[in-house]
Structure 1
C-alpha cells in the first residue's frame, strides 16, 4: 500500500460538542487520525461549505443525529508530529441534540453520553488533546 500523501497546507475541520439531557456525546475514532481516541464528531470542511454546513453534514454522516448549532466553543491546531501526519485546524462548536439516535458510520466504533463534570474521572478512556477544555467551553455556551 503506498504511503498517504498529506496536503501541503493545513486542512480546516469542524467538530461538535453535542449536548442532550445534560450529557455530551463522545465518539471513538475507528481510523487515523486519532484511532482509538474518544473525541467529538466532525471532519473536514469541503470547498464552498460554510462551517455550519460542514458541521451539520459531518455530524449527520458520522452519527445520524440532527443538531442545533449554538456557537463557537473553541479551536485546536493539530500539527504533524511525525512524517505522514496531517496538519489540521479544528473549529469546535457547541450544539444541542435535536433528533435521532446515534447510528455510527465506519469512521467511529463506539459512543458514550458523558456528563461534562465526569470527564476528569474517565481515566480508562483515551481522549484527544484539548477535548476537556472544548467541552467545558461548549457547556458554558449551552447553559443550564
Structure 2
C-alpha cells in the first residue's frame, strides 16, 4: 500500500520584547535568505505551542514563552503546472522573551528586533506582516 503525501504541521513564535518582534533570516531552504519567525516542525507527542518554543530556542539560543495562538498559516508551494510540491500548516504563536539574547545559528543566519510597523522593510516570507500584527495584539 502506498501512502499519499500529507501536509506538514509546523509552529512558529512571534517573540516580543519592548514592543519589537524578533525575526530571523532563514539560513536554509525552503525560503533561504528571507526573514520570518523562528519555527519548524511539530514532533510527535509535542503540542504546537511547545514546538514553537523549542524551535525558537534551537534557532536563536534564547528562551521564550508562548502566550497565545495568533494565526494559522497554510502554505502550499506548487510547480509551474500547479502540482503541489510542499504543503505546511503553521500555527503561529505570540510570545515573550524569557531569558538570553538571540544569536545566529545555521538555521537563522541573522536575527533582528523589529517594530511590527517596519516588517515590510525586510524581504519576508509571504504574509509575515499580517501574522506579526495579530501576534502584537496578543502580546500587548
The TM-score, its normalising length taken from structure 2, stands at: 0.90
| Residues 11-22 of structure 1 aligned to structure 2 (within 5 Å) | 11-22=8-19
C-alpha separation between the residues in 2 aligned to 1:84 and 1:109? 28
Matches within 5 A, 1:40-119: 40-82=37-79, 85-119=85-119
Normalized per residue, the structure richer in strand is 2
When the two structures are aligned, how many residues end up with a matched partner?
A: 134
Alpha-carbon separation, structure 1, partners of 2:123 and 2:60: 20
Q: Report the secondary structure of 1:95's partner residue.
A: strand
The root-mean-square deviation of aligned C-alpha atoms, in Å, is 1.5
For the residues of structure 2 that align with 1:100 and 1:29, how far apart are their CA atoms?
20
- Structure 2's unaligned 5+ residue stretches are none
Using the TM superposition, give the Cα deviation of residue 41 of structure 1 relative to its aligned residue in structure 2, in angstroms.
0.2
TM-score (norm 1): 0.87
Structure 1: state its 5+ residue gaps.
Answer: 1-6
How far the C-alpha of 1:84 sits from its partner, in A, is: 7.8
Partner secondary structure for residue 128 of structure 1: coil
Structure 2 distance, partners of 1:53, 1:86, is 23
1:129 aligns with 2:131: no
1:53 Cα shift?
A: 1.6
Match of 1:9 among 6, 17, 21: 6
